[in-house]
Amino acid sequence: MIRTVADRSFGLQAIRGVAAFLVLLQHVFWLAGYFSSGPTDFINSLLLGGSGVFLFFGLSGYLMAGQMNRPVKRFLIDRVRRIYPGLILAFVVTGYALSLFSYNAWPKWTTVFLIPTGIADSIYIPYWTLIYEFQFYFLILLVGRFDPKHLNLVMKVWVAAIAIFHTAPPAMVAVVSYPTVGEILFSFYNLYFIAGVFVWQISKSIPCRVVELLVGVAILLVATLINIFSIYGAVIYYPLVIFAVFFSIRGATVWYPHHILSRFFVRLGDVSYGVYLIHIAACFFVMLVVKEYFKVELNYWQGVSVLLVAGGGIAYLFGYLELRLQDKLKTIGKAKAVAVGNSALAK
């Protein structure tokens, strides 16, 4: 039985929480290397962070496809409200916190405005994914201004254009993650947004099944194993994850998290944007406090534990505060809308 739209948000939030946790783990393992050497190469081959980011992209594709017919002004205001308050807050917190250890973590103006320059401005805030997000928002909004029935055709043309004009292979992550204005539209990273759009389209005619979530997880595991053990791993991994994202999101729309672990991921999904923004800076700050302020020496796995608990805890707190800020902004926005409506009626 297909659940209601209200129920669907729980499964999707759980997937969002899993994505945030995968990205957090990737960077915890990386930063633990500052304490002591560890199995870095093996852990990098798991591509935990990449899988998390691609799930985020797929979720955006699914959710934004359902909003493309909204009024332009309302759509843009909501997107800016959702992205920028947390982002600016993350810039300020990161800049001040790391300045205590003489690190310059303040962004350039191009970073603030999410302009694709082809240059990595900062490793402390993964802003580059937001550049891709905004590009996708504008494209989906543009399609919505015309006949939405053409969405399927536009997505297929986009896939073909990416196949023909993409400028860097999947293995060149640095190039793909920091594209220029001319490169971003044809980056293969956009295929994960498109996978989410196709989920939204297909789900209206073909019922979703929970088993599809298991199919998506299985494909992701297979892709990861291929990346670890095959010399052609990257070439195979990235296309396979497109299907993993597709089936995971379809299955999540009809999955309800019943158990404590799945409910934890729903909670994490609620605060995932803030966690995503600040987790690298939080973990890096914790590492600096332990190593440079307290002068404590830890082995690799002790470092992983400290960063996961302390850095992850700080990131969760930031995410909670960002979520409360969003709730406040939504309340203000609704109050203004009601006031405008009442004023119009009075006239």
Could you read off the pLDDT of 143-198 as tens digits, one per residue?
887 766 788 899 999 999 999 988 666 555 555 788 889 889 999 999 999 999 99
Number of domains the chain is built from: 1
Domain interval for residue 158: 5-338
Residue given tokens 């017919």 in the structure block:
69
- At 228-286, the pLDDT tens digits run 998 888 889 999 999 999 999 999 999 998 889 999 999 999 999 999 999 999 999 99
pLDDT of residue 5: 38
Question: Which is more confidently placed, 6 or 301?
Answer: 301
- At 111-123, the pLDDT tens digits run 999 999 988 888 8
Would 109 be classed as within a structural domain? Answer: yes
Would 115 be classed as within a structural domain? Answer: yes
Q: Provide mean pLDDT across the span 96-116.
A: 94
Would 173 be classed as within a structural domain? Answer: yes
Is the pLDDT reported for residue 19 higher than 80? yes
Residue given tokens 């800020």 in the structure block:
325
Report the C-alpha gap between 234 and 237 in whole angstroms: 5
Would 32 be classed as within a structural domain? Answer: yes
Would 101 be classed as within a structural domain? Answer: yes
Q: Provide mean pLDDT across the span 96-110.
A: 94
Would 344 be classed as within a structural domain? Answer: no
Would 111 be classed as within a structural domain? Answer: yes
pLDDT exceeding 90 applies to what percent of the chain? 75
Would 209 be classed as within a structural domain? Answer: yes
